[in-house]
Amino acid sequence: MKTALVLGGTMFFGKRLVQLLIDRGVEVTIATRGTTSDPFGDTVKRINLDRTKKESIVKGLSGLQWDVVYDQTAYSPIEVKDVLDVVQDQMKHYVFTSTMAVYDFGLQKKETDFIPGDTEYELKARNEYVGLSGYQEAKRACEQYLEKFSPVPVSVVRFPLVIGEDDYTNRLKIIVDRVMNEEPISVFELDLGLGFVTSEKAAELLFWLGNTKKTGAWNGALDGYWTHRQLIEEIEDITGKKAIIKEESQPEPETISPYAMPKDWSVDASKAKAEGFEFGTVEDVLRPLIQYYAHTRQ
C-alpha cells in the first residue's frame, strides 16, 4: 500500500489510523467536511466534501487514484453507493468500518452470525435511520450494498464499543464522573455483557487489513467482555465511592448509562487472532482506563 484515502480520519481511532499510515510511509489523503482540525500538518493531503451530497463527492474525488480507500464515515448505503460510483475505477481495495450492531444481540458473536447477502435492504439517507435500531439497519445496509456492488475487494471491520483516553464521546468518563459525584446511573440490567476494543487496536486492525489486503468481515475486540456490574464495581473500588444504580425496563434519558444496552452485546475476534493479531483483554484495559478518568477529572 503506497497511497490511501481516508474518508474521515480527524477523530478518535480514525486519527490513529491516519498517523499509522503516515508512520508506515503511505501517502495519505483525508476527506472530511473540513469542520474538525487535525494535527497532521503538511504530511497529508486534504479534500473537503459532504458525504450526504453526491455532487460534493464527485467534485472532491473525481480523477484521483488510491491503493486503498478507508471508509470511516458512511452512515447510509446511499453514501457508500455515491463513493463507489465516483471512485470505482480509482482504487484497488476498500476497507469499511462497520460495527457489532450488524449482529443481533448476544455474546461473542462471530463473523458468520451476519452474512450481508442473506437479507434485503433499502437505499435510504442517513436521516431516515433513527436510534439504535436505525443505526443497526444502516450499517447492515452499507455492508449489503458493498457485498453486492463493490467493484474491488472489500474488508469489513466490525467493532464493539471503542474505548481509550482519546474517546471524544467521553462515555466511560461520564460513568466514572457520575459515580464520583454520587449521581444516579440507570441501566436495563446490571448483568448484561458488553464488548470493547481500544482505539489503538481498532486503528491497527484497519491498517493491517489494508496492508495485507485480507478481505471479508473481521471482528476487532478485546478478549472477553464485562457486565455493567463488573464495570461499576471496578469504579467503586478505584474511587472509593458507592454507585447509585437503577435497573429499569425503560431507563430515564437523564440518567441512562452511555453503555446501556437492552441485551448482551459483544463479539469474538478469534478469526483475526488466528492470523496473529492480538488485542489484549478487557480487564487489562478497562482498569487502568478507569484509573485515568478517576484521577484526571476536570
For residue range 2-34, what is the model confidence (pLDDT) as tens digits?
A: 999 999 989 999 999 999 999 999 999 999 998
Band of residue 35 on the pLDDT scale cut at 50, 70, 90: confident
Question: How far apart are alpha carbons 125 and 127 in whole angstroms?
Answer: 6
Length of the chain as a residue count:
298
Out of 114-128, 194-208, 217-231, pick the least confident: 114-128
Question: How far apart are alpha carbons 298 and 288 in whole angstroms?
Answer: 18
Q: Give tens-digit pLDDT for 146-193.
A: 999 999 999 999 999 999 999 999 999 999 999 999 999 999 999 999
Which residues 6+ apart lie within 8 Å of 253 measured at CB? none
Band of residue 36 on the pLDDT scale cut at 50, 70, 90: confident
Question: How far apart are alpha carbons 221 and 196 in whole angstroms?
Answer: 6
Q: Give tens-digit pLDDT for 106-132.
A: 999 999 999 998 778 899 999 999 999
3-state secondary structure (DSSP) of residue 287: helix
**CB distance 186 to 255 below 8 Å:** yes
Over residues 256-269, the mean pLDDT reads: 97
Query: What percentage of the chain reaches a pLDDT higher than 90?
Result: 94
Give the closest residue to 289 by CA, choosing from 157, 171, 159: 171
Q: Are strands 27-32 and 44-48 parallel, antiparallel or unpaired?
A: parallel
The answer to whether the pTM exceeds 0.85 is yes
Give me the pLDDT at residue 120, please: 81
Phi, psi (rounded to 5 degrees) for 25: 85, 15
Band of residue 92 on the pLDDT scale cut at 50, 70, 90: very high
Instruction: Specify the residue for cell string 487489513.
Output: 209
Question: How far apart are alpha carbons 260 and 277 in whole angstroms?
Answer: 29
pLDDT, averaged across the chain: 95
Give me the pLDDT at residue 47, please: 96
Phi, psi (rounded to 5 degrees) for 174: -60, -45
Instruction: Specify the residue for cell string 460513568.
Output: 175
Question: 10-15 — which CB contacts under 8 Å span 24+ positions?
Answer: 10/36, 10/37, 10/38, 11/36, 11/168, 12/162, 12/164, 12/166, 12/167, 12/168, 12/199, 13/162, 13/164, 13/199, 13/200, 13/202, 13/203, 13/206, 14/72, 14/203, 15/39, 15/166
Band of residue 297 on the pLDDT scale cut at 50, 70, 90: low
Is residue 245 pLDDT above 70, yes or no?
A: yes
The residue ranges of DSSP E strands in 100-212, in sequence order, are 106-109, 154-159, 161-163, 184-187, 193-194, 196-198
Give me the pLDDT at residue 121, please: 86
Give me the pLDDT at residue 246, please: 95
How many whole angstroms from its chain centre is CA 134? 16
Provide the edge-to-edge strand list for the sheet that holds 44-48.
Answer: 44-48, 27-32, 3-7, 66-71, 91-99, 154-159, 216-219
First to last CA, the chain: 41
Q: From the CB of residue 252, how many other CB atoms can be counted at a distance below 10 Å?
A: 10
**CB distance 71 to 102 below 8 Å:** no
| Residue 264 cell numbers, joined | 448482551
